[in-house]
Amino acid sequence: DGGITQSPKYLFRKEGQNVTLSCEQNLNHDAMYWYRQDPGQGLRLIYYSQIVNDFQKGDIAEGYSVSREKKESFPLTVTSAQKNPTAFYLCASSTGTLARSYEQYFGPGTRLTVT
Partner 1 sequence: DAKTTQPNSMESNEEEPVHLPCNHSTISGTDYIHWYRQLPSQGPEYVIHGLTSNVNNRMASLAIAEDRKSSTLILHRATLRDAAVYYCILSNSGYALNFGKGTSLLVTP
Could you tell me the smallest distance in angstroms from the CB atom of residue 58 to partner 1? Answer: 6
Contact residue for partner 1 among 19, 21, 90, 112 (CB under 8 A): 90
Q: What is the DSSP string of 56-80?
A: EE-TT-TTEEE--SBTTB--EEE-T
Query: Interface with partner 1 by CB under 8 A: which range of 14-22, 68-76, 78-86, 94-102?
Result: 94-102
Is the preceding peptide bond at 8 cis, omega within 30 degrees of 0? yes
Euclidean distance between CA atoms 14 and 30, whole angstroms? 34
Residue from 44, 27, 42, 15 nearest 104 by CA:
27
Residue of 67, 59, 111 lying closest to 85 (CA atoms): 111
Rounded to a whole number of angstroms, the minimum distance from the CB of residue 85 to partner 1 is: 19
33 binds partner 1 (CB under 8 A): yes
105 in contact with partner 1 (CB under 8 A):
yes
| Binding-site ranges for partner 1 (CB under 8 A) | 4, 31, 33, 35, 40-45, 48, 50, 56, 58, 88, 90-92, 97-101, 103-109, 111
